[in-house]
Structure 1
Amino acid sequence: MSMITRILVLDGSAAGESAFGLAACVEHTGARYSVVACQKEAGKQAAEGIGLLAAKALDAAGWGPIALRKPQLVAVVVGPGSFTGLRASCATAAGYALGLGVPVVGVTRGEALLPELEQAVALHTGVKPVQGWMLVTGARKGRVFVETKQGVQAIALAEWQPPTGQAWLVAGDAAESLPLPEAQISGITTPTPEQIAVAACARLSGNLPAREALPLYVDPPEAKRPAAGLRAAPV
């Protein structure tokens, strides 16, 4: 496989008050990953309209559909996060990959932040050694997503039963909302475009286990089927 040098990165995963949409063009030269162009806007609407951000970023980088230089890989954050934001960003990623004829690779937030989180655990100098890391991100009201090396789960804060006798490094934009005795709060929150690109290339090369570029839904959607059932089909 030839070296990937141009990566389109999409992230619409953040939920709640932290929601944003991000599209970035990342260039890979040697061991260096650098952002050529980036469009980021706050709010749920920005995540849902991530296709517009992607078009602006590609245009700013000169990687547009008619340009000589085009992305060779599309990387998208598949979760955990906003139901609608993930659906919009993954669909946009799939569309660009299909149109460009390039691979699309999905990564979780924790996978993108893995090297930084592992380094923070290794460098921890507290009295009690930490068991590992937890990445805590906002979900809908009263709930958070918790990602560890073992996987991702949605937690209702009112029902949370923290593990006992262990200290954890806790990161993420909702780290302080999770009641966890002896937690070591980290300032690591959201992956950068470069970190997402690094993780995507690692997955593409087989250095991360395979994962489809589909939304990672770990919390049921808020919308519920009406108690009386759906409307009858029109006649």
Structure 2
Amino acid sequence: MTAIHRIVVLDAAPATVQARVACVLQDASGFHVLSARTQAGHDGIGNMACLLDEILKEAQWDRPDLVVVVIGPGSFTGLRTSCSLAAGLAFGYDCPVVGVTRGEALADALSAYVTQHNLDGWLCVTAARSGRWFVESAAPDSLTSGSVVAVRQADWDAPSGHWLIAGDVVDDVLLKAPGSLKAFPIPGEAGMQEIARAGLNRLQGHIAPRPALPLYVDPPEAKLPAAGLRARPQ
């Protein structure tokens, strides 16, 4: 297989709503961010294509060799936008596109910490809407490994044993079972290098296949127009 060197990373998953794009170079010494942009809010998500154009020019790439997109769990609008952009970019440049979850992007570091500290597994818990969390687990009880579920914060119970917790709501999760949960010492989302590495591992078959499609754990939050539905066309 031809070595992968130029990797475009797209991420608009977090419910906090922000867009991240980066050009990551993979060579014999590792993964290196050559150019990157982050823009908060829905304006950032709507501006992802422009941000992408900026980083490609800054990195002086005529084309990527691989596109990696974070498929969720998270913002419905962010996932739909980033996955569509990733698919269009890969089609236009005739290169592969792969998707990774937020937990998969952190998996190497989380699994190493679990092994080092003799824990039972890890959970990546991230904010959802309406008092809910997304919970992704490496070895969840009674669930297929790698599954992602949405739970009500008030109803969620920590699994038995001793688990590592990562994600953007770690402090809130620790309140549920402070004696059995251990916080991952590196807070925040996975870096663009980690996302690129996870995507390359997926492309090369080191982790199970997963389509580069939005991971919609929750349905979209559809609302009726303020003025009501329009009349049926005559």
Structure 1 length normalisation: TM-score? Answer: 0.87
Q: How does 1:129-208 map to 2 (within 5 A)?
A: 129-149=118-138, 150=145, 151-164=147-160, 166-178=161-173, 179-181=176-178, 182-188=180-186, 189-208=188-207
Q: More deviation in 29-38 or 45-54?
A: 45-54
Q: Distance in 1 between matches of 2:158 and 2:128?
A: 18
SS of 2:110's partner is helix
Equivalent position of 2:26 in the other structure: 28
- Which amino acid counterpart does residue 180 of structure 1 have in structure 2? A
State the identity %: 46
* Unpaired segments ≥5 residues, structure 2: 139-144
Q: Distance in 2 between matches of 1:144 and 1:79?
A: 13
Equivalent position of 1:45 in the other structure: 43
Post-superposition Cα deviations, 1:68-99, rounded to whole Å, max 9, x if no partner, equal: xx201110000111111000000110111111
SS of 1:207's partner is coil
Post-superposition Cα deviations, 1:156-206, rounded to whole Å, max 9, x if no partner, equal: 112213334x12111111112222342111133311111111111111111
Post-superposition Cα deviations, 1:43-76, rounded to whole Å, max 9, x if no partner, equal: 233134322211111111112xxx3xx2011100
* Unpaired segments ≥5 residues, structure 1: none
SS of 1:184's partner is strand
Do 1:8 and 1:71's aligned partners in 2 also have CA atoms closer than 8 Å?
A: yes
- Which amino acid counterpart does residue 222 of structure 1 have in structure 2? E
- Which amino acid counterpart does residue 164 of structure 2 have in structure 1? L
The root-mean-square deviation of aligned C-alpha atoms, in Å, is 1.8
Q: Distance in 1 between matches of 2:164 and 2:5?
A: 33
Q: Distance in 2 between matches of 1:210 and 1:176?
A: 32
